[in-house]
A = this chain, B = another copy of it.
Amino acid sequence: MNDTKLIDIASALGISVTTVSKALKGYTDISKTTRAKVIEMADKMNYMPNSVAVNLRTNETKTIGVIIPATVHHFFSSVLNGILEEAEKRGYLVIILQSSEKYELEKKQVALLLQKRVDGILMSLSNETDDFFHINEAIRKNTPVVLFDKIAKRVDCSKVVINDMKAAYDAVTYLIEKGFKKIAHFRGSYVPQNSIDRFLGYKKALEDHNIKYDPSLVYVCDHNTDFEDGYENAEKLMTDHNDVDAVFAVTDLVAIGIIKYFNDKKIKTPEQVAVFGFSNWFMSTVISPKLTTIDQPGYDIGYRAASILIDEIAQIKEHIPVVHQIVELPTHIIERESTQRL
């Protein structure tokens, strides 16, 4: 069944053996159509390259690993779509793992991916992760790592991020300029850099506008910073501070939880309390009131991160020194109904 040789496929298609071999190895200088033709013919002729044996020779698996901290939802599904599209375009397969915000699991998954000999790893860190030995080990073993979204400043590798502090600062400044005076913040948990930065942006905006920072107006969303977090904390907020006039939420999902609570309790948004989200998940245009938010380019983050990783894989292969880059993608405010003063 596996007697078919490359030459058989080549002559069947009237192309060179090199082209056939390159196509089967997924080299990107071969057109998609040719590659599809070759693979189809190889399949028809029952040619079974032992890709495993091929790997031993080329020491490449044409596979990258992705570790995301949360379940595949909302923001991470956009990121994933960016990663999968770029990987497909560059001829890489993608192994996806979820650390479920657990440091031990994340560590284990990095080890598994290394054992699997992936060519590189894309990671967004779990909320628990505050030790980076496992990541540095991967890098030390010449497996490039690119961090995105939830990164660690201390790890020396390429990163694709947004400026969370600036984005949050802009959001809260916008609220202050709209005339909101008592602005609460529903923050993420204490470890992840983006949750820290968004909180710091909130605090700095208040201070720069001579509004006294009040810690009791900050609520921590420590489940998965999801819908329920927003809903439950909104309830607490209205008990503690029924004169609050705006909330800046760490994610759209949290913001939607807040709006849901307000709608259920007939608390008018934005007339009584304005709500500002973060990430511009498409549902923010569908709920009423439509949510004002920060546009966080999930697809672009995934796409750029994958692209940089695959470039670094090639550089390492060619023994070209890798220069790490910190890519900061721009964000901007999407103004909608949830913050409009009538």
Instruction: List residues of A (245-262) whose CB comes within 8 Å of B's CBs.
Output: 256, 259-260
Decide if A98 is an interface residue (CB 8 Å cutoff).
yes
**Contact among B42, B56, B286 for A287, CB-based, below 8 A:** B286
How far does the Cβ of A271 sit from chain B's closest Cβ, in whole Å? Answer: 16
Number of interface residues of A (CB under 8 A): 56
Decide if A40 is an interface residue (CB 8 Å cutoff).
yes
Return chain B residues, CB-CB under 8 Å to A324: none
Report the Cα distance A141→B2, complex, angstroms: 11
Decide if A115 is an interface residue (CB 8 Å cutoff).
yes
Q: Are A263 and B283 in contact (CB under 8 A)?
A: no
Decide if A90 is an interface residue (CB 8 Å cutoff).
no
Copies per complex of this chain:
2
Return chain B residues, CB-CB under 8 Å to A288: 263, 287-288
Q: Are A256 and B52 in contact (CB under 8 A)?
A: no
**Contact among B43, B260, B263 for A137, CB-based, below 8 A:** B43
How far does the Cβ of A175 sit from chain B's closest Cβ, in whole Å? Answer: 23
**Interface 9-residue window, one of A76-84, A155-163, A195-203:** A76-84
Decide if A317 is an interface residue (CB 8 Å cutoff).
no
Decide if A272 is an interface residue (CB 8 Å cutoff).
no
CB-CB nearest in chain B for A36: B108
Report the Cα distance A134→B36, complex, angstroms: 13
Decide if A12 is an interface residue (CB 8 Å cutoff).
no
**Contact among B24, B88, B286 for A98, CB-based, below 8 A:** B88
Report the Cα distance A111→B96, complex, angstroms: 20
**Contact among B49, B72, B93, B117 for A77, CB-based, below 8 A:** B72
Decide if A242 is an interface residue (CB 8 Å cutoff).
no
Report the Cα distance A256→B35, complex, angstroms: 40
**Contact among B43, B116, B260 for A286, CB-based, below 8 A:** B260
Q: A36-B108, A77-B73, A286-B260 are contacts. A49–B94 as well, Cβ < 8 Å?
A: no
